[in-house]
A and B are shown apart, each in its own frame.
Chain A
Amino acid sequence: MIEFSLGILGLLVLILLRLPVALAMGLVGFVGYAHYMSYSIAGKMVAGSAFELGGYMLTVIPLFVLMGNFVSTSGLGHSLFRAAYAFLGRLPGGLAVSAILASGGFAAISGSSVASAATMAKVSYPPMRSFGYAEPFSLATIAAGGTLGILIPPSVVLIIYGILAEQNIAKLFLAGVIPGLLGLLLYMLAVMFVVARDPSAGPRGEAMPWPERWRALRDVWGVIALFALVMGGLYGGVFTATEGAGIGAMGALLLTWLRGQLTLQVLRNAFLGAVRTTGALFPILLGATVLSNFIGMTGAPEILADWIYEVEPSPVLLLFLIVLLYLFLGCFFESYSTLFITMPIILPLVEAAGFDLIWFGIIVVVTIEIGLLTPPFGMNVFVLTSVLRNVAAGPVFRALIPFIVSDLFRILLLALFPALVLFLPNHM
């Protein structure tokens, strides 16, 4: 237990010094492992982990990133917003509601929350402003809408959770669907709540005649079809998560081509972008593997699990504490790091407590995503302030409060009614 504490302490110091998270985890894991075995055996362990890093299952990550890249470069964000606006623009707060629906649609193809927020900022912010929406409220809507990308599959964070927790990725994706849609619905309610209190915060948009509505919808049928194909294939067991990712990427490429936007430039950017994201992400996976090999040696997971068996805390209390922990961590660490650093310790704990790991994963991911919206480091907010210059973050954080409250309410619902999460994966 001393080695374990020292290791965690060292890890904290190194990452606070801004060493790359992957390097910090790898270094601590390697030295710790060598402490138990020897440096030459630890070296072999690292090389083995590095060689195994390119497992078949992990191919889902670059392929799904590729799929999202095609969508974000092909102007689909625009079409999605137009389609949502055509149907919902007339509602009070209609543009904000449309922005959220469009973010949800974008999330259904893209696995990244930041990409989603950055794209929607360019698409839905100008119309909101021109209809007299306050700046902080407009930006809060976009930032919150972006977090939908994390849960509505495909989701890179869910894939990573699946790998760390050794859970079926297709099942995790299906488990994310209803909670993701629930988030969409609750965010729309949050908009309506804000507008009900102050109608001038979100004026109605213009009504659109039906022919125009159908035309707007025709522009997005491809996204809906692609999502249906990938998720349907996973649900029906027609293909594995990796195959679904390959088909999704290919489908997104074809879709871009059908829309007449497949230039050499788009093709290049999509592939090179996927390569870069993969290159930035996989070192942390390697670091996490090395670190968890060390943590396994310390015996700390067993000690924690034994402690759970002995104390038998009420599941409600345990879950409450874990959610609190992740809310706290989410304020300070970015979501990948939070997952990677905590999972080797938290997983044995919740396994001992008898939690369903798919249900738990969804709850953790919703909790971590709140961190993208809270000060001091709400990443989605800072993405927006960097995409649109001359915007202050403070008022946006205040305008985000209704959305954060709706997220907390969502966690409560998912905790009380696990069927919301487990219904789809259990009927696979």
Chain B
Amino acid sequence: MSIRTESGAADTLRARLLRIIEYASAILLAGIMLLTVTDVVARYLFHNPIPASFELTEMAMQVMIYLGIAVAVATNDHIKVTLLDSLFVRLPRLERSVNRLSGVLIAVAFVFLGYTMTELARGKAGDLTSVLGWPVAPVAWAIAAAMFLSAILASWAVIRPAVAPVGDGDAA
């Protein structure tokens, strides 16, 4: 009984976390869209482009991508080659172990990525962007944080695969 409530609370936490990540990423995307349009309009109508729009877009995009990746990881939305699926269906135990292994590898990969990104962030300490003169390192730190989040969400997907709905992967 107590276990069930605990995992229920954990699931709620995960759902909330996921929602925050999704909305943060969506807001960044909306910002990128508005900034791009404003820049073009300002350039042609008022001959007054926004000089920092390139920099701002790039920074927003860097963070947005990794938040989006965290969402994809949490919902198990990976692009895979399904050539041997018919074979896997006949070997459910093999399928399960491969899925588990792949989930663990994803989590490990994100821990590693997050770690190398913190190194990179340290290396960028003191670097400034060319137009705004903003520090570059916080972007790298944000990416590293998103990567560690992805690692947590990936581990979660391994431990409780039933929670993760199948994403409507929209390839091609």
Contacts and interface: CB of A to CB of B under 8 A. Distances in A.
Given A18-B84, A21-B79, A239-B40, A336 B61 contact: no
Given A18-B98, A150-B172, A46 B113 contact: yes
B30 interface: yes
Nearest to A249: B33
Interface stretch (A124-132, A134-142, A192-200, A280-288): A280-288
B36 A242 contact: yes
Interface in A1-60: 15-23, 26-27, 43-44, 46-48, 50-51, 53-56, 58-59
A280 B79 contact: yes
A269 B78 CA distance: 20
A47 B82 contact: no
A62 interface: yes
A43 B113 CA distance: 8
Contacts of A47: 113, 116-117, 119-120
Contacts of B85: 18
A157 B30 CA distance: 23
A48 B35 CA distance: 26
B97 to A, nearest CB: 10
Contacts of B64: 54, 62, 275, 278
A240 to B, nearest CB: 9
A404 interface: no
Interface string B142-166: 0100010000000000000000000
Nearest to B69: A279
A167 B77 CA distance: 29
Most interface-central of B65, B147, B169 (chain A CB within 10 A): B65
A38 to B, nearest CB: 13
Contacts of A246: 32-33, 35-37, 40
A76 interface: no
B45 to A, nearest CB: 12
A334 interface: yes
A19 B120 contact: no
A106 to B, nearest CB: 14
A192 B73 CA distance: 46
B88 interface: yes
Contacts of B112: 43
B77 A58 contact: no
A59 B39 CA distance: 15
B71 A59 contact: no
B46 interface: no
A44 B116 contact: yes
B71 A26 contact: no
A157 B58 contact: no
Given A23-B109, A239-B40, A63 B33 contact: yes
Given A18-B102, A51-B62, A247-B37, A332 B69 contact: no
B17 to A, nearest CB: 15
Contacts of B37: 246-247, 250
Nearest to B68: A279
Contacts of B30: 271
Contacts, number: 203
A17 B98 contact: yes
A337 B82 CA distance: 11
A114 interface: yes
B33 A56 contact: no
Contacts of B84: 16-18
Interface string B46-84: 000000001001110111110111111101011111111
Contacts of A271: 26, 29-30
Interface in B83-124: 83-85, 88, 98-99, 102, 105-106, 109, 112-113, 116-117, 119-120
A249 to B, nearest CB: 5
Interface in A78-136: 112-115
A274 interface: yes
B130 to A, nearest CB: 13
A277 B71 CA distance: 10
Contacts of A53: 62, 65
A66 B32 CA distance: 12
Nearest to A380: B172
B102 A20 contact: yes
A17 B67 CA distance: 27
Contacts of A16: 81, 83-84
Interface string A258-286: 00000000001001111111111111100
Given A47-B119, A271-B26, A20 B80 contact: yes
With most chain A CB atoms within 10 A of its CB, the pick from B32, B34, B57, B170 is: B170
Interface in B1-39: 22, 25-26, 29-30, 32-37, 39
Q: Give 10 nearest A-B pairs by CB, closest first.
A: A246-B36, A54-B62, A279-B68, A279-B72, A20-B78, A47-B116, A271-B26, A54-B61, A278-B68, A47-B120
5 contacts: A16-B84, A18-B85, A250-B33, A283-B69, A379-B172
Interface of A: 15-23, 26-27, 43-44, 46-48, 50-51, 53-56, 58-59, 62-63, 66, 112-115, 150, 156-157, 238-239, 242-243, 245-247, 249-250, 268, 271-284, 332-337, 372, 377, 379
Given A62-B68, A276-B167, A335-B171, 11 more contacts: A19-B105, A20-B79, A54-B63, A55-B58, A58-B61, A66-B33, A242-B36, A274-B29, A275-B68, A276-B71, A334-B172
